[in-house]
């Protein structure tokens, strides 16, 4: 067996269940076209499942449901961002859901991106990537970008102490420190809200 193929197979086998992969994840092992062929072979051997063109995942089996679980839309979005070289962040209802500010599962999974507008679908899931200024996503940790987008989704007039408390509880002390540092140049009212969230670390 080709050693590069074996190495890619081992990496996928040792990854966490529900791991989502694209060819560029293995570009350090073999040329992209070769990696694509290997991923196709792994799909045929049922080690991975094809989600959409060029995107695969390792299914996790649910003992409770007695079936394989569907891939996480967020994991798929992150794989697409790696594939296209985009920096993304959940936005709108997606950001609120991921931060625990809403229990409503979004009908469309929305992300802001420094790439072009694109929409993708798999199963009954639709994901949309909306172009935004790079300053909204670049140079930030995933958690900082998520918090900023969630606050934007709530809107200046709608944020109350309950929201602030929930966001605060979702962050570790280190994440609050990083958030304060990375969000300094965001919109003034958003940063004022962030300072309230992080007041324990000021």
Token pair belonging to 94: 């997606």
Predicted TM-score (pTM) of the model is: 0.86
Domain layout of the chain by residue ranges? 3-67, 73-201
Low-confidence ranges of the chain (pLDDT < 70): 1, 200-202
- Taking the CA of residue 164 as centre, how many other CA atoms within 13 Å lie in the half-sphere pointing to its CB? 16
Please give the pLDDT value at position 139.
Answer: 83
In this structure, what are the phi and psi dihedrals at residue 201, rounded to the nearest 5 degrees?
Answer: -105, 0
33-60 pLDDT, tens digit per residue, is 999 999 999 999 989 999 999 999 998 8
Class of CATH domain 3-67: mainly alpha
Residue 62, CA distances (Å) to 14, 21, 70 in order:
18, 20, 10
Please give the pLDDT value at position 200.
Answer: 63
Q: Are the CB atoms for 59 and 17 separated by under 8 Å?
A: yes
157-166 pLDDT, tens digit per residue, is 999 999 999 9
Token pair belonging to 84: 């296209």
């Amino acid at each position: 067996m080709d050693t590069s193929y074996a190495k890619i197979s081992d990496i996928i086998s040792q990854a966490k269940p529900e791991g989502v992969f694209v060819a560029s994840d293995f570009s350090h092992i073999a040329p992209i076209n070769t990696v694509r062929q290997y991923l196709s072979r792994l799909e045929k051997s049922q080690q991975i499942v094809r989600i959409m063109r060029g995107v695969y995942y390792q299914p996790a089996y649910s003992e409770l449901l007695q079936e394989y679980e569907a891939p996480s839309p967020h994991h798929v979005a992150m794989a697409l961002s790696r594939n296209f070289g985009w920096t993304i962040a959940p936005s709108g209802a997606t950001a609120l859901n991921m931060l625990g500010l809403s229990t409503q599962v979004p009908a469309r999974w929305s992300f802001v991106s420094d790439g072009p507008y694109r929409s993708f679908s798999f199963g009954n899931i639709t994901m949309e990537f909306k172009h935004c200024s790079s300053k909204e996503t670049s140079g930030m940790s995933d958690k900082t970008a998520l918090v900023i987008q969630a606050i934007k989704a709530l809107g200046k007039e709608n944020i109350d102490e309950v929201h602030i408390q929930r966001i605060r509880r979702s962050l570790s002390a280190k994440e609050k420190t990083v958030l304060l540092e990375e969000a300094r140049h965001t919109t003034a009212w958003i940063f004022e809200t962030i300072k309230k969230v992080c007041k324990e670390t000021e």
